Structure formats: structure tokens, C-alpha cells
Amino acid sequence: MRKLVLAISMLAFAGSVAVADPIQDRQALMKERGKLAGQLSKVVKGEEDFDAAAVLATLKALQANAEKFDAEKLFPAGSDKGDTTAAPKIWEDMAGFKAAEDKFLADAKAAVASPPADADALKAQLNTLGGDCGTCHQTYRIKKS
Amino acid sequence: MAWLRKLVGAVIVLGGAGAVAGWVLSAPVRLDAGTIARLGPGDAARGKRIFYAGGCTSCHAKPGAQGDARLELAGGLELKTPFGTFVPPNISQDRKDGIGAWSEEDFANAMLKGVSPSGEHFYPAFPYASYARMKPADIADLYAFMKTLPAVVGKAPDHKLSFPFTIRRGIGLWKLLYLSPDPVIALPGGTPDKVLAGRYLVEGPGHCGECHTPRDFAGGVKKSEWLAGAVAAEGSGVVPNITPQGGTKDWSEADIANYLETGFTPDFDSVGGAMVDVQRNMAQLTADDRAAIAAYLKAVPPHPNGYPARKPAS
């Protein structure tokens, strides 16, 4: 019985390792982040009316997304191989990478703390957040196709 | 043995003639008087636009500079290419270490002919092969704007190149092949002004083709694959195909202009890599300029990707 339990738990452990794919996880998180930025952009561009409550909800979702970003867990050693555009620089300079992500989280929190009153105010916030995307992607992502 | 002596003599004469021809052909050529006359007095306010269109600060600011520090053009970035490491020099207004002592004519010769005030060739890592397409009046405006920027003391380190790229004179032959003020893409009569304005910005000051076009064995851009994308000259990765057959084929002109303004792609990925600095410069241009660039990119001939397909994940 003990052996069986041990075997099952080992199998379960192996299974969880095989299922957890940090590359897919981090890509999903980035996709969601892009989608949220896209929703805000529509408002900035005037394609959608400014609705303070909806905008705040999106900003909160952006903050929640940023809080889920755990660099150590999503970018473990060895996950530079495979179907990824992560730059080797991430592992050479993990502190710098985390700092870039922390800046995004801080800017998202700041936006939630002082919600924009109109589309122009949102535009300024989105410029800051979009700038964070670019700053990180400048150094820590490689274009492959 | 008289014939042998004659043969040797002939070889020496021919070889000597070849060397002389090579020396003459590789000589730095400065601007003609007519072009100099068209420079005129520049306007610093207009020159600011040219400064951002030309992306000067992307290479000449100190590495990692942000905000106003990007106007301190001290140089020092390292561009690691297959030809060696190029280090953009100090082009601040310091009279000793920068270009503060240059005349407008010196500046125009550098920008349009790739020739230094002392009469040496510049390496084409300085993208004068693109700048050669610029209007003399824009060069004058840019010169006037650069005069308003701070002087920064300190020379940047020298380039680190290996033979034969250490021979600057050889660049004269390269220029015969690749240096021309003519447009890359001939556009028919009746082409809208917007597209022509975009061609000027992209092919001239914007020097987009320097990274977005593959190069031949001698390091010249392949005009037959203009903007088809290329393996990045620095590091790993690729520079995307931006012809109507590339990854941007489903982007509208408004999408392209918005990307250049905000850094967001239509599917809300963000700008990355070396394009981040470029996009920040493009954001300083007018909306009309960005729209013109977009219109031109939709008008260029489509090409398949100028880089190999991505290897399947291993």
C-alpha cells in the first residue's frame, strides 16, 4: 500500500512537471496583457466611448495580470530553448529583467490608484505602460520570424 | 630572354596602372559646388524633425541614455557586426572631441558623401548610403539643430575591425557600387505626393533599408530585395519583412502609422529590439509624416522574406 501511494504520488509529480510549460504560461500571460492594452487603445483612439468604470476594470485586470508575472517561475533556467523569443539576456541579467517588470507593475498600480477622467488622461497612462512594454522587449526579447 | 623581360615589364606596368586606377577610383569625393550652394542657411526648428527622422540619437547617444540625455551625442555604443565592432563617435558640439568645429559644408560632406573634414572615408555603418538621398536644405536644417545640442567632452573608442576592413581607402570602391542619391524605388508619374514624401523619409533620413534589407557579400544592400527583411547584423534574430508580402501585409496604413506613434502592433504586441528606439524617434514626427511612411510601405514591390524560415522548435 505504501509503495502504491508512493508510486502514485511520484507519477502525479512527474505529471505535473510535464504539464507545466513555462513557455506557454508566460506567452498566455503576455497575450492577455496585449489584449487588455488593446481594449484601452480603442478608447484612446476614439473607436470606443470613454466609460470610466469599464476603463478602470481593464486597468485593474492589467494590474492583476502584472501581479501574476513571477519571473523566477515563468523563466526557469533552461526555458530559453524551444519555441520562445525570450532573449538569453533574461538569464544573464535576471535583476534587470525583474526591474523592468516591476516598473510595469508599479505603473499599472499607479493608473488604478488615480483612474483617468477622460480619454486624454488615459492616453498619457497608456503611453507610459506601452513604453514599459517596449523597454523590456528592446532588451529581453528576440525577433525570430 | 628579351621576351621575358618585356613580359615582366608589361606585368609591372599593368599592375602599376591597376594600382594607380584603384587609388584614383577609391579617392574620397566631396560635394560639388552646386550642391554646396543649395545648402543655404539652416533652420533649427525644422532641423529637429530631420534629427528624429534620421535617428541620430539611436546610435550616437551614450548607451542606455533616456530622456534629455539622448540629446548628448557622446557616442560609445558598440555595434557588433560580421565586419567587426563599429563604435559611433562623439558627434556632440564639443570642438575637440565632437563635431563642434565642423562647418556646414563639412557636415554636408559627411552626410551626403561619407567623407570626413580631413578627407577620409567614413565606414558605411554610418548610413550615409541612405542619407545621400537627402535634400541639401534638410542637411542645412539638421546642421542648425545640432548646433543647439550640448557639447560633451570625451572621445568614443575606435572601431575594432580586422584586415582588410581596416583599410579605409577601400571604402572608395564600395561607394562606387553603393553610393547614389537616386531613389531606390522608381515610382511612376502621377504617384501621390504622400507616397513620394514617404519614399523620401524611408529611403533617405529614416534609413529603414539599412536594417530591413538583406546585404550582399560586400555589405551593400540588395535593392532587388528592398525592405524584404534580413538576418539582424547584430546578435541573433531577424529584422522583419516590411514589404506588402511580409508580416505587415494585413496591416492597414493606419495600423502602420499607429505602430510608429504608439509602439503597438494591430494585435497589441509591442515594438521590440532595436526598433524601440526607432519608434520613439518616429513618435516625434508629425502625423502626416507617419501616414506618408505608411503609404510608401504599401506602395513598394512585395518580396518574400529576406531571411531563412524559423527553425522548428527543438
How does pLDDT run across A62-99, given as a tens digit for each residue?
A: 999 999 999 999 999 999 988 899 999 999 999 999 99
pTM for this structure? 0.89
Range in A3-7, A23-27, B166-170 with the lowest mean pLDDT: A3-7
Q: What is the pLDDT of residue B311?
A: 62
Residue B10's pLDDT band, with cuts at 50, 70 and 90, is confident
Flag whether pLDDT at B173 surpasses 60: yes
**Inter-chain touch B240–A34, beta carbons under 8 Å:** no
A135 touches chain B (CB under 8 A): yes
Residue B101's pLDDT band, with cuts at 50, 70 and 90, is very high
Residue A58's pLDDT band, with cuts at 50, 70 and 90, is very high
A24 touches chain B (CB under 8 A): no
Q: What is the pLDDT of residue B22?
A: 85
Mean of pLDDT over chain A: 89
Pairwise CA distance, residues B140 & B79, whole Å: 28
Flag whether pLDDT at B312 surpasses 70: no
Residue B314's pLDDT band, with cuts at 50, 70 and 90, is very low
Contacts B242 to A, Cβ<8 Å: none
Contacts A135 to B, Cβ<8 Å: 276
Rounded to the nearest 10 degrees, what angle do helices A52-67 and A94-113 cross at?
160
The arithmetic mean of pLDDT across residues B192-200, rounded, is 98
**Inter-chain touch A34–B232, beta carbons under 8 Å:** no
Q: Which residues of B272-292 are buried (b: 16+ CB within 10 A; e: fewer)?
A: bbbbbbbbbbbeebeeebbbb
Flag whether pLDDT at B281 surpasses 80: yes
Find the CB nearest B276 among A34, A134, A142. Answer: A134
The arithmetic mean of pLDDT across residues B275-302, rounded, is 97
Q: What is the pLDDT of residue B4?
A: 74
Closest-CA residue of chain B to A86: B237
Q: What is the ipTM of this complex?
A: 0.82
Pairwise CA distance, residues B238 & B212, whole Å: 9
Burial grade of B115 (CB within 10 A; 0-12, 13-18, 19 or more): buried
Q: What is the pLDDT of residue A61?
A: 97
Find the CB nearest B310 among A34, A38, A145. Answer: A145
A138 touches chain B (CB under 8 A): yes
Stronger pLDDT, B21 or B227, i.e. the higher one: B227
Mean of pLDDT over chain B: 93
Q: What is the pLDDT of residue A6?
A: 60
pLDDT, one tens digit per residue, over A90-132 is 999 999 999 999 999 999 999 999 999 999 999 999 999 999 9
Flag whether pLDDT at B209 surpasses 80: yes
The arithmetic mean of pLDDT across residues B11-40, rounded, is 87
Range in B6-10, B61-65, B93-97, B304-308 with the lowest mean pLDDT: B6-10
| CATH annotation of A21-140 | 1.20.120.10
Interface of B with A in 224-243 (CB under 8 A): 232, 235-240
